[in-house]
Amino acid sequence: MSYFLGLDISTTGSKALLIDANGAVAGVAASPHTLQTPQPLWSEQNPREWWQAATDCIRHVLAENGVSGSDVAAVGLTGQMHGLVLLDAQGEVLRPAILWNDQRTQAQCNEIHRRLGRERFIQITGNVALTGFTAPKILWVKENEPDLYSRVAQVLLPKDYVRYRLTDVCAMDKADGAGTVLLDLRARNWSDEVLTALEIPHAWMPPLYEGPEITGVLTPEAAAATGLLVGTPVMAGGGDQAAQAVGVGAVEPGVVALTVGTSGVVFATTPTALIEPQGRLHAFCHAVPGLWHFMGVMLSAAGSLQWYRDTLAPQMSFTELLEEAASIPPGSEGLQFLPYLSGERTPHPDPLARGAWVGLTLRHTRGHLTRALLEGVSFGLKDSFTLIKEAGLGQIRQVRASGGGTKGALWRKILASVLETELVTLNTTEGAAYGAALLAAVGAGHWPDVPTACAAAIQITGSVQPDPVQVEAYTHTYPIYRGLYPALRATFATM
């Protein structure tokens, strides 16, 4: 039997996942990464550690499941987006990678907007320049480490460094490439205008490939390190959010992936390169050839519930808290919760935004607080859906939900009613690594295209329809929620 390997180079660790010819998960292994914060706001990792973790987990998943390297037909890659890896002319790493959650580059973001004009930059790349993205990190190195900058020969993203070690080829997929904000989004290729304005040599940027395309094959050295076969093809894959969307089957317009983990991510496939005029949504290429996507990010989704339980009710289980909330009517009898515990990104890119309960009275109980929190996070996610619709996507037919926050039936019902659409759960729980494995299988010719692969491997396990009573209640309370941030923005800044 042929197997396909998905390799996920995330922030916390590397994960190797094997699927069989039917798309069933045959084995998973993981190996942790360490994180360095040498200064406040800095976040870095050693790329060589990714390679060591990747080889460890590949060897483990093969050994633990009795799979020979010769049975693995192809490898697909995914991983954390936006991180900056710099190589010299000999392919050696020049400095620790600057990660997606590093916050040192606000001055460089401002400079990017100054050089190109903010509106022009949005129209080319589909995004505003944010500290998490790759382009401002390159400018930071130029300004702060000029001697090192003079030795740069290649710019890569985290998973693409592992690709380089596997294949001796520098390459990048278009989905992850779009997250550098150096792409012309519509052309699905590097933007000469942006690279010229930022004085970044075009030669530093690797060739770009669609998600299922072959970028190279395993070298003898990589085969010896991993236990895979020399010549095994390695597909382009995708950044973690695009691969996650493939892993849940959000691969056509109208089907939206909703991830309610510590953070919340709304991922909507688009048939063309749609752009939100103010850059309040991320707009990137999809890992599916010829498609794009919008993405809205909430920083504290299920993380809000985790904080609430740990801080105010540590003796209670999540089940007990949700049982109390289930007895409270929709709208929480006038109580609202703002979920900006870590600041916010979509639709308010404001690091100074703060969390709040608004409308407390003597009548309100712990159950009200809990339900208001669930509703507030749901409203925050609806903000992204609202922007996506306003930007031209059209009808949203189905929401495919994943993440710890969607395990509870109450929260799924609230989400379906707030979003006013069907919410489904799936048989796949391995996220981005699973999507990378499907992309590998498509690239190897096992399935003719990504939608066919998803249809064959992904099954719906549950469905929740909007509740008409709750829909009516939230139609009245959501506009109140929308008015709270504008009313409190200046107060948050003063605090």
Per-residue model confidence (pLDDT) at position 199: 98
Look up residue 307 and give its two tokens: 């904080």
Please check whether residue 254 is in contact with residue 353, taking contact to mean a CB–CB distance below 8 angstroms. Answer: no
End-to-end CA distance of the chain: 61
Please spell the DSSP secondary structure of 242-306, one letter per residue: HHHHHHHT--STTEEEEEESSSEEEEEEESS----TTS-SEEEE-SSTT-EEEEEEESSSHHHHH
Per-residue model confidence (pLDDT) at position 394: 77
pLDDT in tens, the chain (495 residues): 699 999 999 999 999 999 999 999 999 999 999 999 999 889 999 999 999 999 999 999 999 999 999 999 999 999 999 999 999 999 999 999 999 989 899 999 999 999 999 999 999 999 999 999 999 999 999 999 999 999 999 999 999 999 999 999 999 999 999 999 999 999 999 999 999 999 999 999 999 999 999 999 999 999 999 999 999 999 999 999 999 999 999 999 999 999 998 889 999 999 999 999 999 999 999 999 999 999 999 989 999 999 999 999 999 999 999 999 999 999 999 999 999 998 898 999 888 899 999 999 999 999 999 999 999 999 999 999 999 999 988 788 899 998 889 989 999 999 999 999 999 999 988 889 999 999 999 999 999 999 999 999 999 999 999 999 999 999 999 999 999 999 999 999 999
Which of 160, 176, 240, 383 is labelled catalytic? 240
Q: What residue type is assigned to position 145 of the chain?
A: E
Per-residue model confidence (pLDDT) at position 192: 98
Q: What residue type is assigned to position 169 of the chain?
A: V
Which stretch of DSSP H or E encloses residue 163?
A: helix 158-167
Domain boundaries, the chain: 3-240
Name the pTM for this structure: 0.93
Look up residue 386 and give its two tokens: 């609202």
Per-residue model confidence (pLDDT) at position 349: 85
Let me know if 329 is exposed, middle or buried by CB neighbors in 10 A (0-12, 13-18, 19+): exposed
Q: Is residue 240 annotated as a catalytic residue, yes or no?
A: yes
Which of 3.30.420.40, 3.40.50.2000, 2.70.160.11, 3.30.1360.120 is the CATH number of 3-240? 3.30.420.40
Look up residue 241 and give its two tokens: 């959010």
Please spell the DSSP secondary structure of 68-137, one letter per residue: -GGGEEEEEEEE-SS-BEEE-TTS-B-SPEEPTT----HHHHHHHHHHH-HHHHHHHHSS---TTSHHHH
